[in-house]
Structure 1
Amino acid sequence: MTGIRVDAAVRVRDVVLDLDLPEGSCTAAIGPNGAGKSTFVGLLSGALRPDTGTVAIHGRTVAGPGGFVPPHKRGVALLEQRSLLFPHLDVLANAMFGLRSRGVPRHTARAEALAQLERVGCADLTHRRPNQLSGGQAQRVALARALAIKPDVVLLDEPMAAMDVAAAPEIRSLLRTHLAGRTSVLVTHDLLDVLTLASHVVVLERGRVVEQGRVADVLPRPRSQFLADFTGVNLLFGDLVDGGLRLADGTVVAGLAGDDATAGPGWASIPANAVGLHLADPHGSPRNAVDVVVRAVEPRGPVVRVVVDLAGQALAADLTTGAVAELGVEPGLRLVASIKATAVTLY
């Protein structure tokens, strides 16, 4: 069942969206900076009006030619990377605020706020002011405030971006618990957020939806360079032939074909750690051995990413510093890339 339906455009931002999000599920919205993620959240929250088209939440049109429902009447809660707690109110008053602003009696609002603070582990902080809270505690209180109004949809705009390393896993675990069964949208730049919190994903680029579907279906088979980079895999484009992908220069990269790998244009995804680089053909089996030229060398913590040119396309290999030194890797060096066919997914 559709929980959110967006078929709308914001001309000044050159954003045109056409998508359906499932009810009761968390959908991650990802994409490069300027892709349209903030516009998407603005359309759902009511911060933006579409120039054309409609926005519907659980079958109710909240923006369109027939009218516009203001943010406070949409049943939508927004949690951002900043907690945005009111500094002059204590924790309990902050948690009550959404309910009181909707006319809920004080005693009812207080009871619900206390219940939500208990759920997020902040029941002992009720009399503290925001400046007396850690970043993780403040975000927990903001979550309690958001959930207290019993929203139809929860919007999360990079809620872990400002968290320190210790607090982020706790907030992530808390969100996983409290988002279960709720229609929610998560904007993030973190692959771990997508994997642990979302069941569906929407990929935005240049104000358009370029990929969408179940996380388990979309992430392993990227069809955009952004998603390939996001998930840390190589993406090659060419023509699918029997058991492989033929590149522009005629090189065929062998791999494992899925049910949708029919003849014609297609992709191959290859993990960077599955690519080996050699001075000569290692003659292993079963593997691909293709001629490449080094484009760039990028240190990445414990490994070194070597980006090579394969028939005009970029192919990344993650190697140890020892292997890079032994090969004498530098831009322009000609090498042989070896890739096990079992590590190549064709689709």
Structure 2
Amino acid sequence: MQRVLSLLIILLISAPINLLGEDISVGCMFGLTGDSAAFGKGELDAVTLATEEWNAKGGINGKKITLEVEDTATTQAKIVSAYKKLTEVSGHKFIMGPTWLETYQAIIPLAEKKHVLLITPSAEGHAIKHADPKSPWALSTYYSSEEEISRLLGALKQQGAKKIVGLYTEEPFFLLVRQMVEEQAKRLGLEVVYSDNQAFGFTGFRNLLPKIKQLQPDAILAMQSAEGSVLDLLQARAEQMPNVTIVGIHDFAGFVNKAEFKRYLDKIIFSKFVLADPSFAIRFKQRFGYEPILTHSNAYDTANMVFTALANGKDDGASMREFLLNSELKTVTFGAVRFTPSGMINTSKVQIQKISAGTESVLSAVAQ
């Protein structure tokens, strides 16, 4: 009997944590401070919502899910230290996040070397650099910008535009967008008469527009990530080129509801992502008291993917990656989807909006 008890104790000591009746801890990295905080805080809230919903139904195979969260602070140095804390100290083999991975890619080689799986809700998959694109260790549940740009420029073409200008924030995501715009414009027969990159937070458009005005464009693509830059461009447009259309991507959906933008909302076209399951937004607002924005539904989907993989016994980076890359997954953002072999979701539900004299309406509905 004593021998049996001794053997049982040895087995319990050496058993995985999940078999000992303890909580299942999942590592997360989100931008809770710095420039990405508006996205990162909501990403954490969305993951929290998914966690609460799973725990209310019994967790994962009877085990409660807990989150170990690190703030990336929207800096390269902090994102590396947060990653090392979760992997080297806490021993996590997969991580939800980080926010804006395409801009802060220093941890990708570290993850590839140790086979730690990163699953980010807010990085354009085309911009993520893998050592081997056919064997990715960084997956993205974010939207496809290719489809977004195609729909946006197609709508602009239908409005009669012929000559366009592109103004882009100088960062990996918008440099990728610039490349997509120039490729799609050529396909559609739109002439790009001027393109330029600006530093994040640039507010010198009053000095730039006189040069652009001489080119007589029909539209200016305001591909800027900083709210202040977009407002500065709208103000300069109102003063110097009031008849030119301003074109924006999904970020505009957040800008146009702000009080300081109201007087400049005319002749604007922008893209907007539409959720496959609108009930997520209702549940999110009921729980946290505010409307979810871009990347929040993607973070919710990320959590559900991870928890589903864990429920199927995939509790390390390699097995979870294999499961996610080879399964059809249910999402509130896209519906049922599959990852591409390079670890991205190559689809988006894009709607094109227009604003005329302060009134917003649908210019082109989601393609069915």
Q: Same fold (TM over 0.5)?
A: no
Which structure would you say has the larger Rg? 1
More helix by share: 2
More strand by share: 1
> TM-score w.r.t. structure 1 length?
0.30
